[in-house]
Chain A
Amino acid sequence: MDGSKSESRNPGGVRPLVADYLLEFTYKRSLGPVIGNFFSGLREQLIYGARTPSGRVIVPPTEYDPDTGEAVVEHVLVGDAGRVETWSWVAAPLACHPLPHPFAWALIRLDGADTSLFHAVDIGARESMKTGMRVKARWRAERIGTIRDLECFVPEWFR
C-alpha cells in the first residue's frame, strides 16, 4: 500500500503498518466413487471418463451430467492421446506451473471423449504449437493416484 499517500490524508496519524501474511492449509478431500475411479486409473496410466445417461463421455469425469444434472452411469476408458482444440502459450512459467520452461496450456480432446481436458503441452517452441495437432500423455514414473501422475502432454511426433 502507498503509505505516503495515506499520511497526507491523515496528518496527525501514523504510517499504516503492513505485513506479509501466508494463509496455508492442506485440505483432505474425499473423492467419492467417480473421481476416485479416475485417480485410481491414473496410477495405472489409464484415463477414465464418465458416461452420461445421454451417452456423452465426460473427461475428466464429473459425478453428474453438466447438461442435465443426472448422475453419470458408468466409467469409460478413453485414450491417453488426443487433439488440441485450443491453447495459450506460457512464456514465463510461475513457480506453481507444472513445467519450469515455456509451455502451452491446452484443451485436449482425448480419443473417445466428448469433452476436453485442460493440461500442459511440453513442446519447446511456440511456433510448433498448432490447433488440431495430436498430443499424447507423458506419465510420471512414480504414480500415486493424483492428477499429477499425468505430467503433461507432448506431440505424438516426439516418439
Chain B
Amino acid sequence: MSERCAVIGVGQTKYAAKRGDLSIAGLVREAAERALADAELRWRDIDAVVIGKAPDMFEGVMMPELYLADALGAVGKPMMRVHTAGSVGGSTAIAASHLVQAGVHERVLTVAFEKQSEGDAMWALSPKYPFQPPLVAGAGGFFAPLIRAYMRRSGAPNDVGVRVAVKDRLNALRNQYAHLQLADISPETVLSSPMLWDPIRYLETCPSSDGACAMVLSNEANAGRTSRPPAWVLGSAVRSEPAVFAGRDQINPRAGADCARDVYRQAGVTDPVREIDVAEIYVPFSWFEPMWLENLGFCEPNFGWRMTLDETTSLSGRLPVNPSGGVLSSNPIGASGMIRFAEAALQVRGMAGEHQVDGARVALGHAYGGASQFFAMWVVGARKP
C-alpha cells in the first residue's frame, strides 16, 4: 500500500431499542452527517462511499447501496456494499481504507447500520429451512456450549462472565451513545437475571439495538487540515474459516489468531499487552472477553480470565477493554464491528469523552461474525506511521 490512511471523522447515532423517529435512510444520515462535521467536510468532498450491514433478512433490505445512495450523497460517486455477517462493520471500514491506501480515492465515507426494531434477528438467524437441522437452540444456543467448554478448558471460576457484564455496563454509563444505561448494574443483578442458555444469563447477553456508525477516512494530504487530530491506520486484516472442519478449535479459532498476528505485524506490535493501550473487542456474550483476549494474543491460552479478574481490562487497568460499553451495551448488529473500529479511533484521537483512556496512543478494533468464522481487525495510532 502506497498511501497512509487516517480516520478524520467519526459519527454515531444514539443507540436504542427502537429509533421509531427515523427511517433507515435517516438513521445512516444521522451518523454520516456527524462524521462529516467531525471531519469538517461537506458531502461534495467525499469521493466514494462503502457501506456494510448485517445479513439481508435481519431488517429486510437487500440492496442498501441502491436504497441509500441519496441519503449518503453517493450520486455520481462509486458506492459499494460489504458483507461478512457480524464482522461486517470492521471489514467495511477496512475495504474503505484500502481505497485510500491504494491511492484510488482521497476521502472515503464508510457507514454501517442496523435497525433491529424493523425485523427479528432471532428469526433471521435460523428460519426453518428444508433439510437443515431443526431450530432448537436459538441465537445463544450456538455459543453457550463453547463457553461451557472454555470454562472446563481454562479452569476459569464461574463469575468471570458476571464481572465482564458489570464492567461493560458501568463503562456504558460514561458513553452518551450507549443503548443500555443500567445505573443499578451489579454482580447481584447479573446473577439474579434469568439463565437463558445455561451458562449464559440474560444480563450476560447483548441487547437488540437500532443504530448507525460512520467514519471519514482520508489520505495523508487531507488528514492534517482539520482542527482535531487524526487516527492513523497502522495495520488492518481480515480472515475467515469454515464453520465446520475436522480439528476446528471453535473457542480459539485459527482465523482470529492469524488475523491478530497479521495486524500486529503490520503495526509493528511485538508485545500486544504492553504496546496496545486500549482495545474495543466484539463481545456479544460476556465470556467472550477472556476467550478473545487469548485469541488476540494478549495472553497465553487459558489465561484470559485472569486479566478480567485482576482488572487488567477495567477502565483504569493496564489494557482497558470496551471502555465504550461494548457490544454488551449497544448491538446494532451490522454496525457493531464499525463501532469497535470507530471507538478505537476516538481513543487515540483523545476524543472519547468520559470513557477516554488516559494517554491512549495505540488502539485495537476487533469484530467477528458467523459461527466465529469471520474476523476483521485494525490497529490505529496517534502517531503517523
Do A and B contact each other directly (Cβ–Cβ < 8 Å)?
yes
A contact residues vs B (CB 8 Å cutoff): 17, 19-21, 23, 25, 27-33, 35, 62-71
- Give every chain B residue within 8 A of A35 (Cβ-Cβ): 23
Q: Which residue of B lies closest to A28 (CB)?
A: B118
Most buried by B among A17, A19, A20, A63: A63
Across the interface, do B23 and A69 meet the contact criterion of CB distance under 8 Å? no
Would you give the 0/1 interface string for B19-35, flagging 1 where the beta carbon is closer than 8 Å to chain A?
11111111001000000
A13 to chain B, nearest CB (A): 15
Size range of the interface on B? Answer: 20 to 34
Assuming the contacts A17-B131, A19-B131, A69-B72, asked whether A32 and B25 have C-beta atoms less than 8 A apart, the reply is yes
Across the interface, do B127 and A23 meet the contact criterion of CB distance under 8 Å? yes
B17 to chain A, nearest CB (A): 12
Across the interface, do B130 and A21 meet the contact criterion of CB distance under 8 Å? yes
A73 to chain B, nearest CB (A): 15
Across the interface, do A29 and B23 meet the contact criterion of CB distance under 8 Å? yes
B43, CB-defined interface residue at 8 Å: yes
Across the interface, do A25 and B123 meet the contact criterion of CB distance under 8 Å? yes
Across the interface, do A30 and B115 meet the contact criterion of CB distance under 8 Å? yes
Assuming the contacts A23-B127, A25-B119, A63-B29, asked whether A32 and B70 have C-beta atoms less than 8 A apart, the reply is no
Assuming the contacts A19-B130, A27-B119, A28-B117, asked whether A62 and B70 have C-beta atoms less than 8 A apart, the reply is yes
Across the interface, do B118 and A30 meet the contact criterion of CB distance under 8 Å? yes
**Assembly CA distance A65 to B25 (angstroms):** 12
**Assembly CA distance A67 to B76 (angstroms):** 8
Q: Which residue of B lies closest to A72 (CB)?
A: B70
Across the interface, do B130 and A32 meet the contact criterion of CB distance under 8 Å? no
B66 to chain A, nearest CB (A): 12
**Assembly CA distance A150 to B275 (angstroms):** 63
Across the interface, do A32 and B60 meet the contact criterion of CB distance under 8 Å? no
B245, CB-defined interface residue at 8 Å: no
Q: Which residue of B lies closest to A64 (CB)?
A: B70
Across the interface, do A27 and B23 meet the contact criterion of CB distance under 8 Å? no
Question: 11 A–B contact pairs at CB < 8 A?
Answer: A27-B59, A28-B118, A29-B23, A29-B24, A30-B118, A35-B23, A63-B23, A63-B29, A67-B75, A68-B43, A69-B70
**Assembly CA distance A63 to B29 (angstroms):** 10
